[in-house]
Amino acid sequence: MSVRLIESLATTEPLAEVFSDASVLQAMLDFELALARAEAELQIIPQSAVRAIAACSRAEDYDTAVLAKETLRAGTPGIPVVKAFRKRVQQEDARAAEFVHWGATSQDVADTALVLLLKKAAQILEADLARIEKSLRSIVAKHRKTVMLGRTLLQPAPPVTMGFKAAGWLASVRRGRVRLQRAFSAALVLQFGGASGTLAALGNRGPRVAELIAKRLRLDVPDAPWHTHRDRLAEVVCACGILTGSLGKMARDISLLMQHEVSEALEPGGNGRGGSSTMPQKRNPIASALALAAASRLPGLTAAFLSQMVQEHERGVGGWQAEWPTISQVIQSTGVAVASMAEVAEGLTVNPARMKENLKSTRGTVFAEKAALVLSARLGREAAHEALEHATDTKKVRGRTLAQTLADIPELQANKKWLASLEDPEGYLGAAQTFTSRLSSSTRRLQRGRK
């Protein structure tokens, strides 16, 4: 399936296919077929009925446009789908049509279909997240000692390393990946409860039917039907929101590093990516922009889903009907952010030379904190603060570096060795290497814990 033009910046081709009309309908028909086979196995319906039901379980045999139109009147896709399904089975075998959808309700069909779609989506997201982690590990390893400016409130701050920065991205994405894996694991459960969630139409055999359906669909069996208990789905939505926020943070950092005035990193380009319709020289952070756009959508979508959780008694009025488009947008927005940042991580160009130039351009002022620790011991805190204010005032120091200006202070003139090393960025990294190792190893611990 091709991506619709209006959604071209909000999904990927694999996820657009997962949530396509044909895919959604096939998931619903897969539930109906699994239901029939489970009931036939328990001799609730005749085995002969399964053959006709199976023959009519292909999505391509139905007009999804007609089903969509009828869904708007029915209030649930389950009603028109089951109606069309039964009609086609009747043409195949009139007797078999009597056993279509036996003991189930329309929400069983819709919810289980949604879970089956989430199962497919989980595999797509997992593959792209693995790509991000692998590439970020490589960046961390390659740039553990690549020194660059730290930046606080977008202003120059004491140095960090590119490896330290990338390790932060890596650990955050990994936490989000594990969080999402756990959420999917909890949510991939069958929905099968019948009219009021008790499976009364099946007598005491309802739970066994549920077990067989779940086995055929490769889903878990919940303790009980969950028609109006949407917390498992909410956990997936919230996990997507957190993960996409982490990817947005990474995208924000990279897009800022790409600015011409900074030029410390560069997204991969080529094949029409990052160009401008009017400015041929431009290399825009397009993948980061897609991730940032997704990160801006997710908070509203997450809030919308949480408000949809408040559903009435055994079948919701409005909340349940609101979920499908919300969840579809959440998963696809998360997917485009993950795929975009996987592409960035795999092709990111880092410019260590420019990082050194930008450090030097501060004329040592980013080491004022380091100098303050020494000056306070010699001059007292207040006098040291006043001296450093003067030493970092670009209007007064006339282009000199911090060390050159501090050399004028009599109390420091005997400390030439210290002054010479003041502006050495490698000498003021603190625990950056330790933290980089911890961040990297913490992701490995999470991975081992999952296994």
Task: Point out the residues that are catalytic.
Answer: 276, 315
3-state helix, strand, coil in the chain (%, to 5): 70, 5, 25
The values of phi and psi at residue 157, to 5°, are: -140, 175
Q: What are the distances in angstroms from CA 348 to CA 148, 217, 245, 251, 268?
A: 16, 40, 20, 12, 6
Which three-class secondary structure state does DSSP give residue 317? coil
**Pairing mode of beta strands 349-350, 155-161:** unpaired
Q: Residue 398's closest CA among 387, 390, 407, 388?
A: 390
Give the chain's radius of gyration (CA, Å): 30
First to last CA, the chain: 35
Q: Are 156 and 147 in contact (CB under 8 A)?
A: no
Decide: residue 295, CB within 10 A, 0-12 exposed, 13-18 middle, 19+ buried. Answer: buried
Residues paired with residue 189 on neighbouring β-strands, in sequence order: 220
Q: What letter represents residue 17's amino acid? A: E
